[in-house]
Amino acid sequence: MKIAVIPGDGIGKEVMSSAVEVLNELVDLKLEFYEAGDEALQKYGKALPDETLEACKKSDAVLFGAAGETAADVIVRLRQELETFANVRPARAMRGVKCLYPGLDVVVIRENTECLYKGWEFKEKGSAFAIRLITETASERIARFAFEFARKEGRKKVTALHKANVMKLTCGTFRDVCRRVAREYKDIAFNEYYIDAGCMFLVMDPFRFDVIVTTNMFGDIVSDLVAGLVGGLGIAPSANVGEKHAIFEPVHGAAFDIAGKGIANPTAMLLTTAMMLRHLGFSEEAKKVEIAVEDTIASGKTTPDLGGKLKTSEFTREVVKKLGEI
């Protein structure tokens, strides 16, 4: 199997080294490295060089680190080009991670192809405009994905977040489609909140959520919020899934404030790698990675963001050691 590996910018490179080290311990995948991001823009005049895009289209999966200032031209474009319409962002409290809500386990399913992130903006006579696209087709596709995901993962409830009382046509379309799809899944409970109230409930009583389905921009914000509930961006993985392609990337970005210091937490990237392994059919290996990472953290060996002292490379070594013991 062929994997297009894009380390990208900032800590993307550092956490990708960890992922590669762990992958090489476990499976025989053909890892092919490609450039994209701020550095690619400087070198080639294109943040997402054609060669990289073509390679992503031809690979069995894309493993992505992070892009800096060029994120919109790289990862947002890549998601659209590869039609990975569902962004799956699990937030699970792990043993050993001090967090606001131990035991919490929620998944955000974010629509990935439209909404304000379409980037249709223009300016005229001192006023800036943005066009928000919400289609019935994409809403149905993501709603169905969320319910199927809930069923497959043995989850009990899907909650739609929207603002249909204000954005009557766009959010209204999304809400109506979610309600219609929900009626086909009698085994999964369905409810909905306006996005603002939903955020309050997420902070005050997140256990009322299980699977969350929402539009692109709300999903981006809410997935960082839920990551914060379980210990932060250092441990938040994600997958972008479509009919033909899949891109795996941590929720965090290039984090230039800590880049180059060797202290980035590779957990998000490693859990992302586990999601990729599961997607490719390596379920046992995926489980091993998840156990090794959690056991390492639970034993008190962590990077500075989680209160520890280990460098990225030292933490990775500990995870690899644990893998050998499983």
253 is a site residue for ligand ATP (CB under 6 A): yes
Question: In this complex, which beta carbon is closest to ligand ATP, that of residue 15 or of residue 143?
Answer: 15
Candidates 122-130, 168-176, 250-258, 293-301: pick the segment binding ligand ATP (CB under 6 A): 250-258
Q: What angle do CA 193, 77, 152 make, to 5 degrees?
A: 50
The widest CA-to-CA distance across the chain, in whole angstroms, is 65
Candidates 24-32, 109-117, 257-265, 284-292: pick the segment binding ligand ATP (CB under 6 A): 257-265
Among 61, 264, 271, 275, which residue interacts with ligand ATP (rule: CB under 6 A)? 264
255 is a site residue for ligand ATP (CB under 6 A): yes
Candidates 46-54, 129-137, 173-181, 258-266: pick the segment binding ligand ATP (CB under 6 A): 258-266
Say whether 304 sits in a helix, a strand or coil: helix
Of 299, 233, 270, 325, whose CA–CA distance to 22 is shortest?
Answer: 270
Which of these is catalytic: 38, 117, 288, 301? 117
CB of 254 vs ligand ATP, minimal distance in Å: 5
The alpha helices in the chain, defined as continuous H runs, are: 11-26, 38-44, 50-58, 71, 77-81, 136-152, 170-182, 195-204, 216-230, 267-279, 283-298, 312-325
Query: What is the dihedral sign for C-alpha 42, 43, 49, 50?
Result: positive
Identify residues 292-311 at the interface with ligand ATP (CB under 6 A).
305
**Distance separating alpha carbons of residues 60 and 82, to the nearest angstrom:** 12
Among 7, 37, 49, 234, which residue interacts with ligand ATP (rule: CB under 6 A)? 234
76 is a site residue for ligand ATP (CB under 6 A): no
Among 22, 178, 181, 268, which residue interacts with ligand ATP (rule: CB under 6 A)? 268
Is 196 designated active site?
Answer: yes
Candidates 84-92, 111-119, 254-262, 270-278: pick the segment binding ligand ATP (CB under 6 A): 254-262
CB of 162 vs ligand ATP, minimal distance in Å: 23
92 is a site residue for ligand ATP (CB under 6 A): no
Give phi and psi for 129, each to the nearest 5: -125, 150
What character string, x for contact with ligand ATP (CB under 6 A) and - otherwise, covers 184-223?
Answer: ----------------------------------------
**Distance separating alpha carbons of residues 171 and 174, to the nearest angstrom:** 5
The amino acid at residue 246 is A
Tokens of 239: 């997958």
Candidates 120-128, 138-146, 198-206, 261-269: pick the segment binding ligand ATP (CB under 6 A): 261-269
The interaxial angle of helices 11-26 and 283-298, nearest 10 deg, is 120
Q: Provide the residue count of the chain.
A: 326
Contact 240, 216 (CB under 8 A): no
Give phi and psi for 319, each to the nearest 5: -65, -45
265 is a site residue for ligand ATP (CB under 6 A): yes
Contact residues toward ligand ATP (CB under 6 A) are: 11, 15, 71, 233-234, 252-255, 257-258, 264-265, 268, 305
Catalytic residue numbers, as ranges: 117, 163, 196, 220, 224
